[in-house]
Chain A
Amino acid sequence: MATLDLINVQKSFGQTKILHDISISLADGEFLVLVGPSGCGKSTLMNIIAGLEEPSGGELQLDGRDITPLPPADRNISMVFQSYALYPNMTVAKNIEFPLAMRKVEKSKRAERVKSVAKLLQIEHLLERKPRQLSGGQRQRVAIGRALAREPRLYLFDEPLSNLDAQLRLDMRTEIKKLHQRLGATIVYVTHDQIEAMTLATRIAVMKGGVLQQLGTPYEVYNRPANTFVAGFMGSPRMNLVKARLTQESSRLALNIQTGKRPPVRIDLPDMPSAMSAYIGTEVIAGLRAEAVNLARPDMVAGPTERAVDARVEVIEPTGADTLVVLDLGGNEFTVRLEPDVSLKPGQDARFFVDLAKLVCFDAKTEKLIA
């Protein structure tokens, strides 16, 4: 397996800049997920790593070796495509064998390798079939098999689960994670689905408009998003972002939330990073996840980092596993995740406990995290 370094990678088509200075260092055995909305440049970056497109600037290194000028064939990487790209006129066995044949691997070794890959992916019974005779999930396994055959240094997955139906997608997601654990492979994976990113990655690279928004572990990206875009993109439901005025009263900071005619909400803050003090008297964007809020039952007491807040219930959405409730918090929409059997009515005023340990604040102008 290998380390991958992207150093200041840039890409432009004519005047349009697609990728701005992407720099990422991957350690051996890491699972990097490139995630972002359509048009963010993740597929272009993937193609550049594969060698299918040339960067306009910057360098790529595999195991410390500069691979930027090398064609795809010489990079020792494998790729699984969104549409699987199986060769329609070859059997499954021949499809898997193809990269080995191109490398002029000896015939007996090829057969052996095809067998072991097929066994690993449980597609032995499909070896003599043609791609058109396979289901979507089976084709996907064959595509993965073809990538595994060569035992490359690096695996690239370009939205491999997008064309599968929902249940199959979940099953295959687990399969891919198991594969990663088993092989200890270095993987770069592209998806627009942030749940896939969270569940599969060791590190996530969130991209937007060709710019790397944040590179971090799932925990970091989820709980300490670098800016409001990442905060809103990752997680479902998205993180609540509310404009609030930061005030100081007798050495305690407080957030004041009021938009429109609703009664203001005031939240006293526990210890906050010192960087916050620069924002006293100004507006910040407060971010809090839906699960950081609980309904305040009469017998409950607020924990050390919790604060009580009053809000009006607007919409109740039971999902079965829990209940998503949209609140009016000081005139702002605020989604909270409560127990499945909670009994609230629309229009009802209620009290909630918010866990401020999970609070993050963003600069109102730059939208960046106040660290």
Chain B
Amino acid sequence: MANRRPKGFGADRFFLYAVLLCLALLFLLPVYVMVCNSLKPLDEIRSGNLMALPIIWTIEPWLTAWSTAQIGVQPTGLKPYFLNSFLLVVPAVAISTLIGALNGYILTQFRFRGANLLFAAMLFSVFIPFQIVLIPMAKTLGVLGLAGTVKGLVFVNVVYGIGFTTLFFRNYYAAFPIELIRSARMDGADFFGVLFRILLPSSGPIIVVTVIWQFTNIWNEFLFGASFSDYSSFPITVALNNLVNSSTGVKEYNVHFAGAFIAAIPTLVVYLVSGKYFVRGLMAGSVKG
């Protein structure tokens, strides 16, 4: 409510803070449970309860999850797949961001027939259920020799990320003061001149937003990973699911939790560090074209 912060600490405020605190604790619960139980030996989880702090602290589950857990047929732990995810994410984010910047520039600074339609077509591509492209994309990757490779996944994630990155940059450049560009043109800047000397240097915020958005989405992506990769190229989400869902016999909850947290760390760190840029990405991605 606008106007002013109520002074003092009456019953209302106490209740408000109490409710918020409870909700916050509820929200933190899953992470607390994950971390806490990833540091317990297995029998302690079975005999004790999930909420209790470890009596015996151990990092065994983490070591197992990282290097010896059974993923599919290989007891390699999550390490190789963590690496795969990085090999996937870095090029995919870089390429899709660059393409988005270029597209955003072209769509806002140049008038030509169909520009709006093209943008709408790109925008719609972020909404489609990706199930609808799985079959033909599988065929295509086969034909291109990219099936089951990280390169293939990079290709797929770039293609389906273009819609978002173009949206971000296009909105950002649409609000860019046009006089700066006009005067640069009058000073003789050409196509690339305007892009590299005027627009990109001022694009810091949107580049950060786009990179964070793409990083989070591609790192967390599962469907394409599950459909188009094989044991050598699983990203970490697929590997984690494999670890949890296909474990027969003894369920090593602590290892599962450790694995889940390992998979979550990169995006959580990015989230904590980037704060408002993360939120901006969320808002920009949800507000219209």
Closest B residue to A47 by CB, please name it: B3
Closest B residue to A52 by CB, please name it: B3
A54 cross-chain contacts in B, Cβ below 8 A: 4, 7
A128 within 8 A of B: no
B4 cross-chain contacts in A, Cβ below 8 A: 52-54
B-contacting residues, A24-73, CB 8 Å = 52-54
Give the dominant DSSP class at B's interface: loop
Closest A residue to B3 by CB, please name it: A52
Distance A238 CA – B273 CA, assembled complex (angstroms): 58
B7 cross-chain contacts in A, Cβ below 8 A: 54
Distance A19 CA – B49 CA, assembled complex (angstroms): 61
Size class of A's contact patch?
under 10
Q: How far is the CB of B227 from chain A (nearest CB, A)?
A: 47
Q: How far is the CB of B6 from chain A (nearest CB, A)?
A: 11
Distance A53 CA – B4 CA, assembled complex (angstroms): 8
A52 cross-chain contacts in B, Cβ below 8 A: 3-4
Closest B residue to A53 by CB, please name it: B4
Distance A303 CA – B7 CA, assembled complex (angstroms): 65
A53 cross-chain contacts in B, Cβ below 8 A: 4
Distance A54 CA – B8 CA, assembled complex (angstroms): 13
Closest A residue to B4 by CB, please name it: A53
Q: How far is the CB of B194 from chain A (nearest CB, A)?
A: 39
**A-contact bits for B1-25, CB 8 A (1 contact / 0 none):** 0011001000000000000000000
Distance A54 CA – B3 CA, assembled complex (angstroms): 11
Q: How far is the CB of A44 from chain B (nearest CB, A)?
A: 12
Distance A52 CA – B4 CA, assembled complex (angstroms): 8
Distance A53 CA – B3 CA, assembled complex (angstroms): 8
Distance A53 CA – B7 CA, assembled complex (angstroms): 11
**A-contact bits for B212-245, CB 8 A (1 contact / 0 none):** 0000000000000000000000000000000000
Distance A52 CA – B3 CA, assembled complex (angstroms): 7
B3 cross-chain contacts in A, Cβ below 8 A: 52
Distance A354 CA – B35 CA, assembled complex (angstroms): 90
Q: How far is the CB of B2 from chain A (nearest CB, A)?
A: 10
Distance A187 CA – B281 CA, assembled complex (angstroms): 49
Distance A208 CA – B91 CA, assembled complex (angstroms): 62
Closest A residue to B7 by CB, please name it: A54
Distance A70 CA – B158 CA, assembled complex (angstroms): 61
Distance A293 CA – B7 CA, assembled complex (angstroms): 57
Q: How far is the CB of B5 from chain A (nearest CB, A)?
A: 11
B-contacting residues, A165-182, CB 8 Å = none
Distance A54 CA – B4 CA, assembled complex (angstroms): 10
Distance A52 CA – B2 CA, assembled complex (angstroms): 11
Q: How far is the CB of B219 from chain A (nearest CB, A)?
A: 42
Distance A60 CA – B46 CA, assembled complex (angstroms): 68
A-contacting residues, B34-89, CB 8 Å = none
Q: How far is the CB of A69 from chain B (nearest CB, A)?
A: 12
Closest B residue to A72 by CB, please name it: B3
A-contacting residues, B251-277, CB 8 Å = none
Distance A54 CA – B7 CA, assembled complex (angstroms): 10
Q: How far is the CB of B101 from chain A (nearest CB, A)?
A: 38
Q: How far is the CB of B149 from chain A (nearest CB, A)?
A: 55
Q: How far is the CB of B16 from chain A (nearest CB, A)?
A: 18
**B-contact bits for A295-334, CB 8 A (1 contact / 0 none):** 0000000000000000000000000000000000000000
Distance A52 CA – B7 CA, assembled complex (angstroms): 13
Q: How far is the CB of A88 from chain B (nearest CB, A)?
A: 16
Distance A52 CA – B1 CA, assembled complex (angstroms): 13
Q: How far is the CB of A248 from chain B (nearest CB, A)?
A: 59
Q: How far is the CB of B286 from chain A (nearest CB, A)?
A: 23
Q: How far is the CB of B212 from chain A (nearest CB, A)?
A: 35
Q: How far is the CB of B8 from chain A (nearest CB, A)?
A: 11
Interchain residue pairs with CB less than 8 A apart (5) = A52-B3, A52-B4, A53-B4, A54-B4, A54-B7
**A contacts, CB < 8 Å to B:** 52-54
The 5 closest A-B pairs by CB, nearest first: A52-B3, A53-B4, A54-B7, A52-B4, A54-B4
